[in-house]
Structure 1
Amino acid sequence: MTRFGYTLMTEQSGPKQLVGYAQGAERAGFDFEVMSDHYFPWLDEMGHAPYAWSVLGAVAHATERVDLMTYVTCPTTRYHPAVVAQKAATTQLLADGRFTLGLGSGERLNEHVVGEGWPGAQARQEMLAEAIEIIRALLGGQTLTHEGDYFTVDTAKLWDVPEQGLDIGVAVSGGQGIERFAPLADHLIAVQPEVDLVRQWNAVPDAPQIPNGARAIGQIPISWGPSEEQAVKRAHELFRWFGGGWAVNADLPMPQGFAAASQFVREEDVAESIPCGPDLDKIAESVKAYVDAGFTDVALVQVGDETQEAFLREAAQPLLEKLRAL
């Protein structure tokens, strides 16, 4: 059975609000919660970007049942992989084994801030593969010295390591990434409901099999609200960047770039790609594409900070009933 999650979106909410939403999502019955890890919002109108790992620690302490996950962290530029390993191990301990480390090759929007430049796509994948090797070794309790193509580690050791270990999910968008990362990861992360992604993953030698042990974890934005017109306006204001595609989203350096790239996106364009309004059947139907594609987990992104409490109070439970009936 597919599990359904709630997205703690750091780009549109402050840290205390996110902790409260995490508690509300757990009460509403979501199976898991994912958190974005950004230095900037996609657009200035979104207005937030707290440090995800501080919020994750608070969420781990404030919740009891839901699984937690980063969706996703880039362990190559803004963070050194040895530091990511330490953060992940600590979060897993705080969460009593409920945490999964979601990793990806990153976006220039977040990684450029440390002044190390922005590598090309092939180099970013090579960096991610080396970073996973380092993280795995440290989570395994090794004292690690590493001289690689991209990273140096000088006699590092984690002193607080979760006994139950820690699963790693990796974000991929196509066959080349799947072939490279499926043997290195425990779970697939993707943002498109494409059945070929699951099939290609399962066809890779030594890849953990979906759904027999491995998970395929997707995410979809929704704009629920009592007024369809207002829900569309809100989605257009905050999520018009969404249709740009990964090649655009990965390489633009600032929110102003996303504003410029999406300046000609119309409200009706957004309404075609994001379900908007009070119709829960319509929202459930949009999620069904992930279920049909073989995804085991789907996280919902409710658009707009000001809508979260009403969504969790009024819509989440009946929506989850419809989703589980799929």
Structure 2
Amino acid sequence: MTQLGYTLSSEEFGPNELVNQAERAEEVGFDFVSVSDHYHPWLEAQGESPFVWSSLGGIAASVEEIDVAVGVTCPTIKTHPAIIAQAVATTAAMVPEKFYFGVGTGELLNEHVLGDHWPEHRVRLEMLEEAVEVMRELWTGEQVSHHGEHYDVQNARLFTLPDEIPPVCVSAFGERAAQGAAEFGDGFWSVGPQDVVEDWEDAGGEGPRLTQLHACVADSEDAAVATAHEQWANSGLPGELAAELPTTAHFEQATRMVSEEDIREGSIITEQSADAHIESIQEAIDTGYDHVYIHQIGADQEAALALYENEILPSFD
């Protein structure tokens, strides 16, 4: 059965607002919420980047039945996987239902802040695989010493553990990464109805399959396009730019190439009808995703929440 979720955008809102949005998403009837993990927003206009594990503590303490996810975290460079393992275990112990843990190879935008080297993607994928191994060792509750190619852990033990270890859902946007995700992940994470999930399945991937859809519900399609262009023009950047640009200033420069027409014709849902959302969700389901969550771009979150409560969620009951 497909689960429908709502995005809590750490790039656009502070922690208290994210908690309030999680409560409202549960009230509306969403099956889960997923919060993004960033050190910086993509663009200055987005304006926020709270520490996600603090936000998750507030969210977990405020909701009653809804599932919670974080997507996606990079547990390889800025933060050691032993620390992320403790954060995940604590959060999962607080979540009333189920916690989904999304991981990826990260973006230079967030991972460069301590001055560490930013390796090529192949190496980052190797680091991610070892990081997941370290975290799983720690989630056993046993004392762990690990001396690998990328990470060292000495005499570490997690005493606070959840009743159920969350699935590690690995993000991938290409065939090679999808194959790696199938080898060491418990699930799959993507953005949009991308058919790379088929590569993951062909490589033997099993578990939950999550994807995010971007949208802007506004007074008109033109208003939606304008808001999405101002707040989320980064969605129009091609190739690997999103992973390789180091600062919001560089994203500001790069997104000058993205026009409002690019936004109108791109993947963001700007058409102002429930049918447009229903069709996009159904396309993602047909592609193979069983967890689809919507990201409402801009300050007016209630516009999307009301639309989903009244017209969209009932159509998937």
TM (norm. structure 1) is: 0.93
What's the counterpart of residue 114 of structure 1? 114
What's the counterpart of residue 269 of structure 2? 275
What's the counterpart of residue 299 of structure 1? 293
For residues 5 and 28 of structure 2, the distance between their equivalents in structure 1, rounded to whole angstroms, comes to 11
1:193 matched to 2:193? The reply is yes
For the 8 Å contact 1:146–1:152, the answer to whether it is kept is yes
Letter matched to residue 301 of structure 1: H
Letter matched to residue 201 of structure 2: N
SS at match of 2:5: strand
SS at match of 1:159: coil
SS at match of 1:163: coil
For the 8 Å contact 2:5–2:294, the answer to whether it is kept is yes
For residues 246 and 12 of structure 1, the distance between their equivalents in structure 2, rounded to whole angstroms, comes to 24
What's the counterpart of residue 211 of structure 1? none
For residues 181 and 40 of structure 1, the distance between their equivalents in structure 2, rounded to whole angstroms, comes to 25
For the 8 Å contact 1:29–1:317, the answer to whether it is kept is no
Letter matched to residue 106 of structure 1: G
For residues 94 and 234 of structure 2, the distance between their equivalents in structure 1, rounded to whole angstroms, comes to 34
Letter matched to residue 288 of structure 1: Q
For the 8 Å contact 2:237–2:258, the answer to whether it is kept is no
Shift of 1:162: 1.4
Q: Give me the CA root mean square deviation.
A: 1.5
Shift of 1:129: 0.5
For the 8 Å contact 1:139–1:166, the answer to whether it is kept is no
TM (norm. structure 2) is: 0.95
Shift of 1:236: 0.6
Name the CA shift for 1:72/1:246 in 2 (closer, same or farther; >3 Å): farther
What's the counterpart of residue 259 of structure 1? 252
Letter matched to residue 170 of structure 2: V
For residues 140 and 316 of structure 1, the distance between their equivalents in structure 2, rounded to whole angstroms, comes to 40
For residues 25 and 132 of structure 1, the distance between their equivalents in structure 2, rounded to whole angstroms, comes to 30
What's the counterpart of residue 302 of structure 2? 309
For residues 241 and 53 of structure 2, the distance between their equivalents in structure 1, rounded to whole angstroms, comes to 26
Name the CA shift for 1:227/1:55 in 2 (closer, same or farther; >3 Å): same
Letter matched to residue 242 of structure 1: S
Shift of 1:201: 2.2
What's the counterpart of residue 290 of structure 1? 284
Aligned length: 316
SS at match of 1:149: coil
- Single out whichever of 227-236 and 125-134 deviates more from structure 2: 227-236
1:222 matched to 2:218? The reply is no
Letter matched to residue 113 of structure 1: V
What's the counterpart of residue 78 of structure 2? 78
SS at match of 2:249: helix
What's the counterpart of residue 46 of structure 2? 46
For residues 147 and 314 of structure 1, the distance between their equivalents in structure 2, rounded to whole angstroms, comes to 51
1:236 matched to 2:235? The reply is no
Which residues of 2 match residues 59-208 of structure 1 at below 5 A? 59-195=59-195, 197-205=196-204, 207-208=205-206
Name the CA shift for 1:86/1:317 in 2 (closer, same or farther; >3 Å): farther
For the 8 Å contact 1:97–1:164, the answer to whether it is kept is no
Unaligned runs of at least 5 residues, structure 1: 209-213
What's the counterpart of residue 55 of structure 1? 55
For the 8 Å contact 1:12–1:47, the answer to whether it is kept is yes
For residues 317 and 52 of structure 1, the distance between their equivalents in structure 2, rounded to whole angstroms, comes to 30
SS at match of 1:72: strand
SS at match of 1:268: helix
Unaligned runs of at least 5 residues, structure 2: none
SS at match of 1:7: strand
Name the CA shift for 1:142/1:97 in 2 (closer, same or farther; >3 Å): farther
Shift of 1:48: 0.5
Shift of 1:13: 0.7
The one-character-per-residue Cα deviations of 1:186-241 (angstroms, maximum 9, x if unpaired) are 1111124233x333323325x42xxxxx1111111000112222111100101111
What's the counterpart of residue 24 of structure 2? 24
SS at match of 1:71: strand
Letter matched to residue 7 of structure 1: T
Shift of 1:269: 1.2
Name the CA shift for 1:48/1:94 in 2 (closer, same or farther; >3 Å): same
For residues 218 and 170 of structure 1, the distance between their equivalents in structure 2, rounded to whole angstroms, comes to 11
Letter matched to residue 69 of structure 2: M
SS at match of 2:256: coil
For residues 36 and 198 of structure 1, the distance between their equivalents in structure 2, rounded to whole angstroms, comes to 20
For residues 255 and 296 of structure 2, the distance between their equivalents in structure 1, rounded to whole angstroms, comes to 20
For residues 307 and 102 of structure 2, the distance between their equivalents in structure 1, rounded to whole angstroms, comes to 30
